[in-house]
Chain A
Amino acid sequence: MNSLNTYLIISAFLFSIGLVGVLQRRNLIGMLISVELMLNGANLNFMAFNRFLTPEPVVGQIIALAIMGLAAAEAAIGLSIILALYRKMHSINIEQAQRLKG
């Protein structure tokens, strides 16, 4: 119905707006949210190629599922690191987490 280029532009937009968030937020949770948006952009790209180009439409869906599993693992690890950092620093602002600064 819609062409491949529409989906590619949407996924590029999602990835770019996630990049804006990662570069300019100072709140660790805000950065985590932006990373989730970037992962979704990549996932949408895989599904679009899967719909329009590949010989077997199973492969892209399997890759998309794998990325979702990785995103869940990443969120769990990231949130537990935020928890540990908050207990040490009493803040989740990344500009105060500078103890390892050289």
Chain B
Amino acid sequence: MDTSSSLTALAQAAFWITIGFTITGACIAVFARNILYNVLGLALALTGVAGIYLFLGSLFIALMQLLIYVGAICIAIVFAIMLSRPLHLDTPPRPMPKVVMAVAASAVFFIGLAGVALKTKWVPAIERSTDYSVVTIGHMFLTRYELVFEVISLVLLVAIIGAIITAGFSRRLSS
């Protein structure tokens, strides 16, 4: 009894620490001036979201999050930072009215969204299976949700070709 309650308290503490990491990372990613800090904050926030996926019961999606977001997208953004303005120059000040209006608009949006989430009476489905295994995901991906799989493959192929053409043609035109 005592051990189980202390384990629950430990899990609860881990949950809130994960959420703290996520929110801190998101704030760094948006409000820091140095673009390199932005990317590091993004990586922190995405790792925190992967931890939240673990609390939601899906190890597979958490690993995919680490692999795709933290491993691929953050590294690609670090490559693009080499094109940003030199880091040793001091940045121009932010226009204050723009920041205030952006924060106000987002605050209105957040209050609306949170109000809808809290007011709605969420009704869970009557029969719920608890099958989170990767085998089931694979079966469903190749049978009932085949279309999603094919469309994602097509989108990725088009994106790769488009990225190569966009980056390659401009080089030929400018040189």
Chain A interface residues (CB < 8 Å from chain B): 1-2, 4-5, 7-10, 12-21, 23-25, 27, 29-30, 32-34, 36-37, 40, 43-44, 47-48, 50-59, 61-66, 68-77, 79-84, 86-88, 91-93
Contact = CB atoms under 8 A, between A and B. Distances in A.
Interface of B is mostly: helix
Given A14-B49, A82-B80, 16 more contacts: A7-B56, A8-B114, A13-B26, A14-B45, A17-B27, A23-B101, A29-B80, A29-B81, A33-B39, A55-B125, A59-B140, A66-B148, A70-B152, A76-B160, A77-B159, A92-B83
B124 A37 contact: no
Interface residues of B, number: 88
B152 A69 contact: yes
B163 to A, nearest CB: 4
Given A29-B81, A33-B29, A71-B69, A7 B106 contact: no
Given A62-B140, A79-B163, A83-B170, A30 B45 contact: no
Contacts of B27: 17
30 contacts: A1-B8, A2-B15, A8-B114, A10-B52, A14-B22, A16-B107, A19-B102, A20-B30, A23-B101, A24-B99, A24-B102, A33-B39, A37-B30, A37-B42, A52-B124, A53-B123, A53-B125, A58-B131, A59-B145, A62-B141, A62-B148, A64-B61, A65-B64, A71-B68, A77-B162, A79-B80, A82-B83, A83-B80, A83-B166, A92-B83
A62 B145 contact: yes
B163 A19 contact: no
A1 B12 contact: yes
Contact of A84 (B35, B60, B170): B170
Interface of A is mostly: helix
